[in-house]
Amino acid sequence: MSLLELRAIKKTYLLGNSIFGKRKTVEAVKSVTLTLESGVCLGIVGESGSGKSTLGKIILGLEKPDQGEVLFQGKNLHSFKAKELKELRRNLQVVFQDCYSAVNPRLTIGEIIAEPLRNYERLTSSEEQKQVQGLLELVGLNPEDMYRYPSQFSGGQLQRINIARAIALKPKLIILDEAVSALDALVQVQILNLLAQLKEEFQLSYLFISHDLQAVNYIADRLAVMCKGEVVEWLDDMGQLERLEHPVSKKLLSSVLPQYPGFL
């Protein structure tokens, strides 16, 4: 059984104000079907407006599809009852692009990372402190950082903190929605290396959503290319990027790999 399965997902939005005329219909996602196995990183890449982020929101339960099913461990996510939904939140975490808005500036780093632990675990103060400090060390920060505030950290450090919070409950799947795109090139590589190490250590599964094919290639095991709400190409082997044929795939490839395939 797949960890995550999408079956013919469709999502349409109505844009504009009906008072001033006919509203425009936009098909953000058109009958997308794909699967993700445990321990695998699936990269979803596409240009702006391709529907990849909408798909991520549907998987997270932030948007409901007009048609189709999202199966998480064989169960339809959008039919979960309250108790099942709470357990789902434990096993499905997310790291967003904007590392600054993802944290509460009034809380200490320790309180931010401890939030999921407090929601799901019954820990003593000393146990919580030990776990938070251990998580900080896992993501390459100092245990003493738990007493500091978000304003005292760089963007790259904040994203490490968001990753620490995401792995706190050892989830089965983490959705990384443009998680490195706001960072400079060197920090991107550092964060991608960290994500790869954590994936290996904890046997995590990732859904890595990005417009950057180079970043996706760095970490993903498999690839889905989206264009205008559809998956237009699929690769089971990231070593075969040269086989990409769709015009959007080639455009994404040429934009980051001017000397392709020499960088591989």
Which pLDDT tens digit goes with each residue over 211-224?
999 999 999 999 99
- Which domain CATH number covers 155? 3.40.50.300
Which domain range does residue 120 map to?
4-256
What pLDDT is stored for residue 82 in this prediction?
79
Which among 208, 106, 223, 109 has a CA at the least distance from the CA of 164?
109
Distance CA 261, CA 264 (A): 6
Q: What is the pTM of this model?
A: 0.91
Strand order through the sheet with 173-177 = 92-95, 173-177, 205-210, 41-46, 222-227, 230-235
pLDDT of residue 152 exceeding 90: yes
> Is position 215 within any domain?
yes
> Is position 47 within any domain?
yes
**Burial letters 87-123, b for 16+ CB under 10 A, else e:** ebbbbbbbbbbebeebbeeeebbbbbbbebbeeeeee
Lookup result for tokens 């596409």: 46
> Is position 219 within any domain?
yes
Distance CA 193, CA 129 (A): 26
> Is position 80 within any domain?
yes
> Is position 264 within any domain?
no
> Is position 262 within any domain?
no
Q: Which of 84-93, 107-116, 231-240 has the lowest mean pLDDT?
A: 84-93
What pLDDT is stored for residue 14 in this prediction?
84
> Is position 177 within any domain?
yes
Q: How many domains does the chain have?
A: 1
Which pLDDT tens digit goes with each residue over 28-67?
999 999 999 999 999 999 999 999 999 999 999 889 999 9
pLDDT of residue 260 exceeding 60: no
Residue 125: pLDDT band with limits 50, 70, 90: very high
What pLDDT is stored for residue 263 in this prediction?
38
